[in-house]
Structure 1
Amino acid sequence: MTAPVIDLTGKVALVTGAAGGLGAAVAAAFADAGAHVVLADTDLAGATRTAEEIGGSAEAVELDVRDPDAWQRATARLLEQHGHWDVLVNNAGVYRKAPLAEMADDEIALVLDVNLRGTVLGTRAAARSMADGGAIVNISSTAGLAGHRHALVYSATKFGVRGVTRSAALELGERGIRVNAVCPGPIVTSMMRADQVDWSAVPLSRAAEPREVAALVTYLASDAAAYCTGGDHTVDGGLSA
C-alpha cells in the first residue's frame, strides 16, 4: 500500500497574512507542492517581495480580511485570472497580550475583527466562489483549546475559529469542500517573541519553525487528506498533551 502523495499541482490557493511569518511559509510550501499561490496581505509590498522570492508560481494581492468588499475584489480577480479557486488558508491574525482590565477598546476590536471576523468573511467568500472539492484551512491556536492568561480576547477568537471550522465543515461537506483547523503551539515569528513563551510547559522544549506548521497545512489542503474535515489538528510540541 503506497502512502498518499501531498500534491497541489493544478490547484489555485489563496493564503491570507502571507507577507511573512507562518503565511509566507505556507505559501512557499504550497508552491513547492505545485500550487499557484496568491499571497494576500494588507502589506502589499511585503507580500510582493515574498511572492518574488517564491518564484513564478506565486503572486501578491492586497487584502484587508476585515473588509467584505476587499474579499469580493480579491476573489473576483482570482477567478478572472485563473478560472477556479481550490484552497483557502485563513491565516491572517494579530496577537495582543494584556490583563483584561487594562485592554483598550481599540485593541479588543482589532483582535476580534482580524482573527474572527476575517475568518468568517474569508470562509463566506469561499462558500460563494470556491470550486467543489476544495479545501479551507483555518489557523487557530493552542489558545483556542485552553484559556490563556492575559490573552483573553485572542483566546476567544481562536476558540471561535474552531467553531467556524466545524460549522462550515457541516455546511460545505455536501459540495466536497473540506474545512479544518490547525492549532499551532508557539511559533517564534514577528507576532510572538521567544521571551513570551514558558518553554518548561512544552515537552519538546522549543518553538515550532514556521515550515513545520506549514507542512501540516499543506497536507490538509491536499487530496492526501481527502477524508479529513471538521477537525482540530495540533502541531504544538506536546503543549496540549
Structure 2
Amino acid sequence: MHTIVVTGGSKGLGATITKAFHAAGNRVAIVSRNDSGLAADLGDRARFFHADVSKPDQIKTAFSEIIKWSGSIDVLVNNAGYSGWQPLEKITEEFWDQMIDTNLKSILFTSQAAVAAMTRGGAIINISSLAGKRGSANNSVYCASKFGVNGITQSLAKELGGRGIRVNAVCPVYLRTPGLEEALQEKDSPTKGGDLTSYLDEFAKTQTALGVLPTEQQVADTCVFLASAAAGAITGQCINVDCGVLPQ
C-alpha cells in the first residue's frame, strides 16, 4: 500500500484528488489548515494533519507526524493554493506575500520534507495552472506564482531523477471549485463581477477545442496516472488539462 500526501486535500479539487487516490487503494494523508471531516469519512486509510503550508515550520511538524503514521511517503500532491486577480495599481506587498507563500514557497518546502522520506519510485505532482504558461490581465502575481511552480517542477525533476523520484505538474484551466467561484466574482477578475456561469460557458465555447471545461475528476485521474508505474518515463513535464485551450 502506498502513502499519498495531498496538501489542501480536504476540499475542492484537493478533496477530489484525495478520494481518487483513496479509491485506488492507497493510504492518504490530508495536509490542510482546516479539517473538513473527509479523512474520518474515508476511514482508516486516511488521516488529517494540520498545517499552514505557507509556514515551513508547520510543514516539518506535519510531515514528521505523517512519517510516524505511515512509515514512508510515496507520492506528494502539492495542491494547496488559491486564485486572485489584482490590477497592477492595486497590488500590495501583503497580496504578493500571501500568494507567493501559499502557491509557490509551499511547493519547495513540502517537497523538501516529503523527499526525505521517499525512496526510488516516488513521485511529486504539483498542481499548477495554465496561468503558469501564459500571462493574463490583472493576474501578474498569480501567474508569477504558477510560472514558478513550473520552474520548480522542471528543476526538481533534474535534481531528483537520479534518486528515482519523478516530478511533474498538472496545469488545468478553469475548474469550477468554490475557491475559483469566489475569486471570479471579484470585479477585477475576467468576469468583471458579471454572471459566472455565462462567462465560463462562453469561455468553453470560444477558447477550448472540445467545447467544454475539464472536471475536477479528470484532473484527479491525471494525478493518479502520473503517480503510477504507467507514467514511469514521464518526469519534468507540465501537462495541460485544459480541453485544448493551449495546444502544445
Q: Give the alignment's TM-score, normalised by structure 2.
A: 0.88
2:195 equivalent to 1:201 = no
How far the C-alpha of 1:223 sits from its partner, in A, is: 1.5
Paired with 2:225 and 2:13, the residues of 1 have a C-alpha distance of: 15
Paired with 1:236 and 1:52, the residues of 2 have a C-alpha distance of: 32
Aligned match of 2:229: 223
Map Cα deviations across residues 171-219 of structure 1 (whole Å, 9 max, x no partner): 1111100000100111000121245643321233333221110000010
How far the C-alpha of 1:18 sits from its partner, in A, is: 0.9
Aligned match of 1:36: 27
1:160 to 128, 139, 148: 148
Query: Which has the larger displacement, 22-31 or 79-88?
Result: 79-88
Secondary structure of the residue that 1:74 maps to in structure 2?
Answer: helix
Aligned match of 1:4: none
Aligned match of 1:107: 95
Letter in 1 for 2:223: V
2:9 equivalent to 1:21 = no
Paired with 1:148 and 1:98, the residues of 2 have a C-alpha distance of: 11
Q: Is the CA contact (8 Å cut-off) linking 1:188 and 1:208 kept in structure 2? A: no
Query: Which has the larger displacement, 184-193 or 111-120?
Result: 184-193
Paired with 1:59 and 1:213, the residues of 2 have a C-alpha distance of: 22
Aligned match of 1:7: none
Paired with 1:119 and 1:54, the residues of 2 have a C-alpha distance of: 26
Q: How many residues align?
A: 229
How far the C-alpha of 1:102 sits from its partner, in A, is: 1.2
2:145 equivalent to 1:145 = no
1:173 to 161, 172, 180: 161
Q: Is the CA contact (8 Å cut-off) linking 1:75 and 1:129 kept in structure 2? A: no
Secondary structure of the residue that 1:192 maps to in structure 2?
Answer: helix
Paired with 1:164 and 1:63, the residues of 2 have a C-alpha distance of: 21
Aligned match of 1:183: 171
Aligned match of 1:6: none
How far the C-alpha of 1:234 sits from its partner, in A, is: 1.1
Paired with 2:65 and 2:214, the residues of 1 have a C-alpha distance of: 34
Q: Is the CA contact (8 Å cut-off) linking 1:96 and 1:107 kept in structure 2? A: no
Aligned match of 1:73: 61
Q: Is the CA contact (8 Å cut-off) linking 2:17 and 2:217 kept in structure 1? A: yes
Letter in 2 for 1:224: A
State the superposition RMSD in angstroms.
1.4
Query: Which has the larger displacement, 18-27 or 192-201?
Result: 192-201
Aligned match of 2:216: 210
Paired with 2:40 and 2:213, the residues of 1 have a C-alpha distance of: 27
Percent of aligned pairs with the same residue?
38
Return 5+ residue gaps in structure 1 as ranges.
1-9
